[in-house]
Copies of this chain bind each other. A is one copy, B any other.
Amino acid sequence: MTKDTPSEPALAPRTRDAEATKARILKAALNEFARYGLAGARVDTIAEKAKANKRMLYHYFGSKEELFQIVLENAYLDIRQAEQKLRLHELDPVEAMERLVRFTWEYYLKHPEFIRLVNSENLHRGQHLRKSKLVSIFSRKLVEMVSDILDRGVAQGVFRPGVDPVHLNLTIAAIGFYYLTNRYTGSIIFERDLMDKAALDERLAFNIDTILRLVRA
């Protein structure tokens, strides 16, 4: 909508730019909600970090909860889109499976905001995600993707039949997500630094092994 005239350099600092302001608010909100949860996040802090006026935040997003909802939806859409870019159908089943486990792990590792946001949303019983139409659509593609790998593997005789793609999806997510979301209590309980580089590499290898043992014929 509000675009620079083509002749002007794009980097010229616009004094007024609704899209840019919205984007800054969303980014600051993602950070704040991920750090402190929905209840712990402070609207004033979000506005400040976004270098935007709080009034703008309410103008564009309505309320703290609606802002959270949009931040959460965006986070889900981001991971679902990244998954689609993997082009797993081009790989043979074992490689595809390994790549998916690796991707999931690395995505969680690179995006700790995502796992924290998901936890917050589940504390609130999924009431915000439920309002998103897009998330369901994109999630279906994920299940189809895994289903396809599984089918191809069974056809080639490398995977055993009868593995539920939803349970497999849940398990791939679980073994990475749990380790990383509970990194703090986990490090205390098991008395070792779970976020140590070597520990992370070891975990990824363990996870790939776990999933392959689960699906192999």
Contacts and interface: CB of A to CB of B under 8 A. Distances in A.
Interface of A: 36-40, 76, 116, 118-127, 129-130, 135-136, 139-140, 143, 164, 166-167, 169-171, 173-175, 177-179, 181-192, 202-203, 206, 209-210, 213-214
Chief secondary structure at chain A's binding surface: helix
Nearest to A120: B123
Contacts of A175: 171, 174-175, 178
23 contacts: A36-B123, A37-B37, A37-B39, A37-B40, A37-B123, A39-B39, A76-B189, A118-B182, A119-B123, A122-B183, A122-B184, A124-B184, A126-B184, A127-B184, A164-B202, A166-B192, A167-B206, A170-B178, A173-B178, A177-B178, A178-B178, A213-B214, A214-B214
A185 B129 contact: yes
Contacts of A123: 36-37, 40, 116, 119-120
Contacts of A173: 178
Contacts of A37: 37, 39-40, 123
B203 A167 contact: yes
Nearest to A126: B184
A140 B171 CA distance: 26
